Amino acid sequence: MTQNLTVKVQSLDQGLPLPAYQSEGAAGMDLVAALNEELIISPGQRALIPTGLAIELPRGYEAQIRPRSGLALNSGVTVLNSPGTIDSDYRGEIKVILINLGSEPFNVSRGMRIAQMVIAPVTQAQLQLSIELTGSERGAGGFGHSGDR
């Protein structure tokens, strides 16, 4: 069941659309590039892309900035610090760090859908210092512990 939430939005670039869900069942809203001129990201390079958007999240929520699967598959372009987190007390412009992991230069143009934003609840944990932890079947088994497949 979908939960409804109101998030205040400030458009810092009036010529661009607000983020929108692309389907009824979509979890993320597409963010677009708020560039005045085209930007080329060379293979192996990264760039900070403005979105022309600021938001006011209710306390207890975050916005996760995630890659778009089509950009990743078709061009090797992804969000570098994925998922990026927008905290509920941040009021500045949302910007997205894109990296080109592909083999060709990638052109970012004004209005291009570059990432998606997912609004999610946050739990803040109370850490309790302990001399020892309760045992488990896995124990301290780490990377690759559960097998290759």
* pLDDT-above-70 percentage for the chain: 95
Whole-model pTM: value is 0.87
Rounded to an integer, what distance in angstroms lies between the CA atom of residue 55 and that of residue 33? 16
Rounded to an integer, what distance in angstroms lies between the CA atom of residue 11 and that of residue 95? 13
Residue range 30-57, pLDDT digits in tens: 999 999 999 999 999 999 999 999 999 9
Residue 104 class from Cβ within 10 Å (0-12 exposed, 13-18 middle, 19+ buried)?
Answer: exposed
The pLDDT of residue 147 is: 66
Q: Look at the domain 8-121 and name its fold.
A: Deoxyuridine 5'-Triphosphate Nucleotidohydrolase; Chain A (2.70.40)
DSSP for 39-103 reads EEE-TT-EEEEE-SEEEEPPTTEEEEEE--HHHHHHH-EEETTSSEEE-TT--S--EEEEEE-SS
